[in-house]
Amino acid sequence: MDVHLTLGAVGERTDGIYRQLSAAIIEGRLAAGEALPPSRALAATLGVSRTTVAVAYDRLAAEGFTVTRRGAGTFVAEARASGQARRAPHGRTVTARPVWAGRTVPSTERAPAAFDFGIGIPDPALFPLAAWRRQVANELQLGSALLNGYAHPPGLPRLRAAIARHVGVSRSVRAGADDVIVTSGAQQAFDLATRVLVGPGDVIAVEEPGYPPVRSLFESLGATVVGVRVDEHGIVVSEIPPRARLVYTTPSHQFPTGVRTSLTRRLELLAWAETANAVIIEDDYDSEFHYGGGALDPLQSLDRAGRVLYVGTFSKTLVPGLRIGFLVAPESLHQPLAVAKRLSDWHTDTVTQGALARLLDEGIFAAHVRRANRVYAGRRERIIEGVERELSRWLDVVPSVAGLHLFAQLRADVPLRVTAVTDAAAAAGVGIQSIARFAHNEDSEQARRGFVLGYGAIEEASIDHGLRRLRDVLTRLT
């Protein structure tokens, strides 16, 4: 590896090389076992004689910083290497704007519970790995988009066309290829849309309880965020502040309560947006998985005025690690959104885009979703039946018609806070999550009594056992 060294005055050069290399070893910038450059090569790079370098190397070896292996070179010795990770300088000189204070990144290293009813991730075992590997290999051919320099920011034309067809057929979204912008997950779609539409101090309405990363994003961009209650028909439109410039909503499967926004409420929301001159972001994050009960048209396809930005993601249908989502936007926003995408990350990785286009075009994606839907339907049914059989003394479950989780509530006559239940369940190896995590107002009825049961992570065969353990926990607590 090239080592960066600065040369001092003539006469101090050997000493300078020794000091800089020993410091790099002590501070962990050079790790145990790492090779130093051959003395001849380093001398040539620095424009000094080979002896100058060789004397410094001898001193390093004599003091145990390096070991020399004949014919192989000089290596950092185990004994003197710091073993510390390389760190930037400490200090509090540079600080972030106050809006970032207290915001933390959730850990991805949680130990899974023995019975994991966690939400947010699909079952990785269902991912069509062999097909994906084949499509990625196809994308790595000579002449592929990867080797063609920067790509067009809104996405590869064939992927935009494939997504437009996919959402047109599966969700009746009205979109041509030009209306689609490929993003790094749904999260980037929210970011681009907000930066294009909203300025500091503007009011954004979000559902309460709701999806925290979006609320936090809006706040970080300087917006004033107002939570709006969700009832059994969806977001309560009459409570949206009239000054709201933007409304973020999850009508197909409200996150986290699972409510599907009724048709009347959908039309009311669209009419409200018209009157208030506001824009709606429709987050349709997991409704490719559905379980009867009749899907309703998305706001995007009911909208006649071009006020809805429809956001989708492949995080649930495939896996979140791909970081691929999309935005369907009215024509008036095509150009600013394309520029915002370019300013953000230029474009989404072309190998992933190309492979996904192939998966969609060859019908592999649709077949995968149908198969996964059957698996999830079985798990969902099992949870609903199990809760009714084992847990109906304590819980009511809301059998929502889409997605990868169910919402449940402690019955009004159960004298427990839901967090006491989730803590005791965790100790018993049952992973369930309280709604309080997703509520800005932790004292609301939903936050105090509600929790979510996901079925992305748990196999059908483990569900009954997990619910019986939960029953034992509740019996003990009450």
Ligand X SMILES: Cc1ncc(COP(=O)(O)O)c(C=O)c1O
Phi-psi region of 30 (alpha: psi -120 to 50; beta: other; left: phi over 0): beta
The yes or no reply on residue 254 touching ligand X (CB under 6 A) is: no
Two structure tokens written together for 413: 């006559």
Considering only residues 14, 249, 250, 261, which one is a binding residue for ligand X as defined by CB under 6 A?
Answer: 250
User: What gap in Å lies between CA 297 and CA 267, rounded to an integer?
Assistant: 11
CB of residue 255 vs ligand X: minimum separation in angstroms?
4
Tally: H helices and E strands in the chain:
15, 16
Residues 358-397 that bind ligand X (CB under 6 A): none
- Closer CB to ligand X, residue 126 or residue 416? 126
Considering only residues 39, 66, 187, 400, which one is a binding residue for ligand X as defined by CB under 6 A?
Answer: 187
Cβ-defined contacts of 302-306 (< 8 Å, 24+): 302/266, 302/267, 302/270, 303/270, 305/270, 305/273, 305/274, 306/330, 306/331, 306/332
The yes or no reply on residue 173 touching ligand X (CB under 6 A) is: no
CA dihedral 412, 233, 220, 90 (to 10 degrees): 40
The yes or no reply on residue 407 touching ligand X (CB under 6 A) is: no
Write the DSSP string, 26-51. HTTSS-TTPBPPPHHHHHHHHTS-HH
Interacting span for ligand X (CB under 6 A) from 44-52, 168-176, 179-187, 196-204: 179-187
CB of residue 399 vs ligand X: minimum separation in angstroms?
19
The yes or no reply on residue 455 touching ligand X (CB under 6 A) is: no
Query: For 322, which DSSP code?
Result: G
Interacting span for ligand X (CB under 6 A) from 43-51, 132-140, 183-191, 448-456: 183-191
Strands (E), 381-434: 395-398, 405-410, 430-431, 433-434
- Closer CB to ligand X, residue 58 or residue 219? 219
Tokens 């970032």 appear where?
A: 100
The yes or no reply on residue 257 touching ligand X (CB under 6 A) is: no
Residues 53 and 39 sit within 8 Å (Cβ to Cβ): yes
Residues 77 and 66 sit within 8 Å (Cβ to Cβ): yes
Considering only residues 20, 315, 317, 446, which one is a binding residue for ligand X as defined by CB under 6 A?
Answer: 315
CB of residue 193 vs ligand X: minimum separation in angstroms?
13
Q: Which residue is nearest to ligand X (CB)?
A: 185
Interacting span for ligand X (CB under 6 A) from 45-53, 313-321, 345-353, 358-366: 313-321
* First and final C-alpha spacing in the chain: 64
Interacting span for ligand X (CB under 6 A) from 102-110, 182-190, 409-417, 430-438: 182-190
The yes or no reply on residue 285 touching ligand X (CB under 6 A) is: yes
Considering only residues 300, 301, 313, 434, which one is a binding residue for ligand X as defined by CB under 6 A?
Answer: 313
At 202 the three-state DSSP class reads: coil
Residues 98-127 that bind ligand X (CB under 6 A): 120
Residue 61's CB: how many other CB atoms inside 10 A?
14
Query: For 286, which DSSP code?
Result: S
Residues 8-37 that bind ligand X (CB under 6 A): none
CB of residue 217 vs ligand X: minimum separation in angstroms?
10
Residues 241 and 226 sit within 8 Å (Cβ to Cβ): yes
What is the per-residue binding string for ligand X in 198-237, x denoting contact by CB under 6 A? -------------x--------------------------
Tell whether the torsion through CA atoms of 198, 202, 208 and 209 is positive or negative.
Answer: positive
- The angle that helices 129-139 and 364-390 make with each other, rounded to 10 degrees, is 150
- Closer CB to ligand X, residue 255 or residue 407? 255
Two structure tokens written together for 130: 């062999």
- Closer CB to ligand X, residue 187 or residue 301? 187
- Closer CB to ligand X, residue 43 or residue 408? 408
- Closer CB to ligand X, residue 52 or residue 348? 348
- Between CA 118 and CA 121, with CA 119 as vertex, the angle to 5 degrees is 110
Interacting span for ligand X (CB under 6 A) from 54-62, 241-249, 312-320, 442-450: 312-320
Considering only residues 191, 207, 282, 283, which one is a binding residue for ligand X as defined by CB under 6 A?
Answer: 283
Closest CA to 403 of 172, 120, 181, 197: 120
What is the per-residue binding string for ligand X in 317-346, x denoting contact by CB under 6 A? ---x----x---------------------
Where does this chain bind ligand X (CB under 6 A)?
120, 185-187, 211, 250, 255, 283, 285, 313, 315, 320, 325
